[in-house]
């Protein structure tokens, strides 16, 4: 299971588009040593072909990620956007998702990818968890919610 670390939580990310959002949020993973210098470009490329946006009951999110060869240490970076950013939908790339939050995953073990995605989906099908993520007003509060539900 991926873990969320305090240095991987950010509020009010102001991004022009999904690529800008991925580059800004990915920089936290890179600067913390969680991923290699190839990670951000690989995530941008993967997102163009295999979008990760999801429209859930109470929130719209995106879960950008890429292959484990670009990862040093598994982690999840949690970013709350200042304004929703448009991503393609995971199941239907023509559907646009206005992602309020990004959960950018550094997944080392390819066998864990499906399980990690399923675990994250479970979190966001929990209306209490979604309410707590939305209510978080500081990075400390956001980290506490992320740690509680993601690990």
Is residue 16 pLDDT above 60, yes or no?
A: yes
**Cβ-contact 121, 44 below 8 angstroms:** no
Is residue 1 pLDDT above 60, yes or no?
A: no
Domain ranges of the chain: 4-149
**Predicted local distance difference test score (pLDDT) of residue 134:** 93
Give tens-digit pLDDT for 43-69: 999 999 999 999 988 899 999 999 999
2 band by pLDDT with thresholds 50, 70 and 90: low
What is the DSSP secondary structure assignment for residue 71, as one 8-state letter?
A: B
Write down the mean pLDDT value for the chain: 92
* Tokens 């946006």, located at residue: 53
Of the chain, the percentage scoring pLDDT greater than 70 comes to 99
User: Whole-model pTM?
Assistant: 0.92
Give tens-digit pLDDT for 128-139: 999 999 999 999
φ/ψ of residue 83, rounded to 5: -135, 145
Q: What CATH class has 4-149? A: alpha beta
């Amino acid at each position: 299971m991926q873990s969320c670390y305090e240095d991987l939580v950010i509020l009010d990310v102001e991004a022009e588009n999904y690529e800008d959002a991925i580059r800004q949020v990915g920089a936290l993973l890179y600067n913390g040593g969680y991923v290699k210098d190839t990670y951000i470009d690989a995530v941008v490329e993967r997102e163009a072909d295999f979008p990760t946006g999801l429209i859930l009951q109470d929130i719209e999110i995106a879960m950008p990620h890429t292959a484990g060869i670009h990862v040093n240490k598994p982690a999840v970076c949690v970013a709350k956007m200042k304004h929703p950013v448009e991503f393609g939908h995971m199941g239907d790339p023509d559907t646009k998702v206005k992602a309020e939050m990004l959960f950018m995953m550094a997944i080392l073990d390819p066998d864990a990818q499906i399980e990690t995605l399923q675990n994250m989906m479970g979190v966001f099908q929990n209306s209490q968890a979604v309410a707590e993520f939305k209510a978080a007003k500081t990075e400390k509060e956001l980290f506490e919610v992320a740690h509680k539900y993601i690990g």
